[in-house]
Amino acid sequence: MDNQTFLSDLPSRPKIVFLGTPDFAVPTLEALIREGYDIVSVVTQPDRPRGRGRHLASSPVKVIAEKNGLSILQPQRLDDTFLNQLSSLKPDILVVIAFGQIIPKSVLSLPKWGGINIHGSLLPKYRGSAPIQWAVINNEKKTGLTTMRMDEGLDTGPIFLKQEVDISKGETAGRLYDRLASLAPDLLLKTLQGLSSGTVKPEEQDDSLATYAPKLKKDQGMIDWSRKAEELCGLIRGLDPWPGAFTYYNGEMMKLFECDVVPAENTITTVPGMIKGFNQAGMEIETIDGSLIIKEIQVPGKKRMPLSEFIKGRHLTIGTTFGGSLP
């Protein structure tokens, strides 16, 4: 697709097929509905078993689409059957945010103006499925959102607009996720309006600056207490709420949440993983270069709770050590 064709010909109210699944995509879909865009269909992931009863549940995007009487497609795969369904809708453009499947070239090529993706990082940094979490894990000071024209690569398409935000001290991936979700609609609307007026132009990404944000796995949450306190606090914040950073105490797994860093005292030799003490803020645990204040704990089968509540039912002793794994 020629960039100039994309810029000069996009209608002011294009026929849109919206692809999204989790709650991150909901504010953007709601904004398109509110602004009166012609959403010819919403494509979202099939209903999945959820909760203890494992009952089939609709995605957050499907719930909003149903509420607003929109056409809904839930393909298991974006195959020829889906391509035929999409072709019959005659969309001008695809709008994609946190859909959950790789979109093949055959689908991207069908609408005249291709697809726009809203990505949760400042591309080319943090290409991949978990950009928000990895920005927090790596203690980045800034992150943001990018709108881009989709191609066959992994978040490699030309960039339209960016919005930069500061990552607040102590901010978790969950809170940053919600904040970026609330900012995404405005950036998309500015992009669509700019493409219609010709004031927004695509800019190729510098691949040499690219970093990768792979999908998170549960075992990445294992805490190595010999790491630096700042690194461990970044891990705890970046894996909150899922999958959670965890350690073991007397053979019992514990997930740790809400942390502060206490700098090392030069004259003190630390014992990584040792409980140093308790105060109103939480529990202090030593690391290789200082210590962490932990404010919330969760054990399997229980809800996460403030440390002050947790220790009423568990005995945690100063001088004992976290770490290891189940015997």
- What is the pLDDT at residue 51? 76
**Which pLDDT score, from 0 to 100, does residue 327 have?**
39
pLDDT digits 0-9 by tens, 81-101: 999 999 999 999 999 999 999
Evaluate if residue 325 carries a pLDDT over 90.
Answer: no
Report percent pLDDT > 90 for the chain.
87
Q: Highest mean pLDDT range out of 5-9, 24-28, 53-57?
A: 24-28
Tens digits of per-residue pLDDT, 156-197?
999 999 999 999 999 999 999 999 999 999 999 999 999 999
Residue ranges of domains in the chain: 3-209, 218-310
Mean pLDDT on 5-23: 85
16 has pLDDT over 80: yes
Checking if the pLDDT of 2 tops 80, the result is: no
Average pLDDT, the chain: 93
- pLDDT of 30-77, one tens digit each? 999 999 999 999 999 999 988 777 889 999 999 999 999 999 999 999
What is the mean predicted confidence (pLDDT) over 229-251?
Answer: 97
pLDDT for 6 equals 55
110-134 pLDDT, tens digit per residue, is 999 999 999 999 999 999 999 999 9
Residue 8 confidence (pLDDT) above 70? no
Q: Is 198 or 40 the better-scoring residue by pLDDT? A: 40
> Is the pLDDT at 324 greater than 90, yes or no?
no
pLDDT of 275-311, one tens digit each?
A: 999 998 999 999 999 999 999 999 999 999 999 999 9
Which band of pLDDT confidence, cut at 50, 70 and 90, is reported for residue 152? Answer: very high
Listed residue (132, 314, 165) closest to 240, CA to CA: 132
- Report, as an integer, the average pLDDT of 138-165: 97
Query: pLDDT (tens digit, 9 = 90+) per residue, 232-242?
Result: 999 999 999 99
Question: Is CATH 3.10.25.10 what the domain over 218-310 is classified as, yes or no?
Answer: yes
Range 3-209 classified under CATH 3.40.50.170: yes
What pLDDT shows up at residue 268? 65
